[in-house]
Amino acid sequence: MQVVEEPTRKGALLDLVLTNKEGLVEDVKAGGRLGCSDHEMVEFSILHGGSRVISRIKILDLRRTNFALFKELLGGIPWARALEGRGVHECWLLFKHHFLHVQERCIPLRKKWRKGGRRPAWMSKELLAELRWKRKVHGNWKEG
């Protein structure tokens, strides 16, 4: 969704503020120049909820894994005898069952942190695609 409605360069609407949710951006104003630019500055406020969403997602904490116990538990299973006479699918299910059981015992879980990501939470894939399109169109315009 495009939210700039005023001209930003010589009467033309060239600078965009894109959002993927209505009501995420407010107080959009075009006016004033920065330095020698011939574009108007676009100022706006990004709204966010008052409370942060707490992640309940748990992920494996591989740094605290007990690999010795992991190897011992998986190595202690007589695989040749356990898998003998079974089909591929049945062998896979048996191996997966044992592997997940050992994983539960040897690899602790931790909360997933959202901080430190490469892009802000509001920057969706759709918004990134729109920004790429804007840059492409702007590049084509500059080339003539």
pLDDT top residue among 86 and 118: 86
Are 131 and 18 contacting, i.e. CB atoms less than 8 angstroms apart? Answer: yes
- What integer pLDDT is reported at residue 114 of this predicted model? 62
> So what's the pLDDT on residue 6?
66
Least confident of 8-22, 33-47, 51-65, 128-142: 8-22
Q: What is the mean pLDDT of the chain?
A: 81
pLDDT of residue 117: 55
Enter the tokens of residue 57.
């997602």
Report the greatest alpha carbon distance in the chain. Answer: 80
pLDDT tens digit string along 30-79?
777 777 777 777 777 777 655 455 667 889 999 999 999 999 999 999 99
Sorted by sequence, the CB contacts under 8 Å of residue 35 that are 6+ apart come out as: none
Strands 109-111 and 58-60: antiparallel
The full set of domain ranges for the chain reads 1-52+119-144, 58-111
